[in-house]
Amino acid sequence: MGEAIGQSLSLAVGVALSPVPIIAVILMLVTPRARTNGPAFVIGWLLGLALVGTIILLIAEPSEASDNGQPATWVDILKLMLGALLVLVALKQWRARPHAGVEPTAPKWMGAIERFTPAKSLGAGVALAAANPKNLLLAVGAAAGIAQTGIAGGEQAVAYAVFAVIGTVGVATPVAIYFALGDRSGRILDALKRWMSHNNAVIMAVLCVVIGAKLIGDAIAGFSA
């Protein structure tokens, strides 16, 4: 199981460092419903990651993801495709980065966050975790890599749970700061939001190209094994 966790660790960090969802949860924490909406978003995020992992692990049963103790070819092909897609996402993000002195534009849906109910916050967490292209590619890659090790189903579930928990640290941190510091958290969270907003594209580009290269490298190593 250690190998499976190791396979997905870097991908989990890539999920955790997701600027837009972190900004979204910070905005929730300055609304009157902060104490319910913040935790609801984090729970939704975790559920979204769990949903993707459950689907992939059910499709990629150990007998299909590992051939006689060796990784199945289709998993390496999937990693190669996911890696290539992440590199394309990185290029898109890099080209879309704001120029010096230009204020980045926030997604339109963020303007409605102050009107979110706990249910909408939960749904937003699920959507941003499971439907966001970058996170979806990383979660699929992590689940496929775990399945590729050929360990038992229960161990796969534990390994993916570790991935999901680490991948939730990014959105959970502002909520933890809010509950730990109360009103004193405002300045810290505002500074974090501003930094994330201005560096969103660069962070995404670097993460995607590094992790995409890792997946491509893993796939090439698998083909030559």
Indicate if the pLDDT at residue 116 is higher than 90. Answer: yes
Helix (H) or strand (E) run with residue 75 in it: helix 73-95
Report the SS3 class of residue 66. Answer: strand
Domain containing 124 equals 2-224
- For the chain, the domain total comes to 1
Indicate if the pLDDT at residue 63 is higher than 90. Answer: no
Closest CA to 66 of 189, 134, 176, 149: 149
More confident residue, 39 or 212: 39
pLDDT of residue 103: 65
Distances from the Cα of 77 to the Cα of 91, 149, 150, angstroms: 21, 15, 17
Cα–Cα distance between 162 and 82 in angstroms, integer? 21
Matching residue, tokens 């510091």: 181
Q: What is the mean pLDDT of the chain?
A: 86
Which residue type sits at 1?
Answer: M
Residue 1 and residue 158 in contact, taking contact as beta carbons nearer than 8 Å: yes
Q: What predicted TM-score, i.e. pTM, was given to this entire model?
A: 0.84
Indicate if the pLDDT at residue 225 is higher than 80. Answer: no
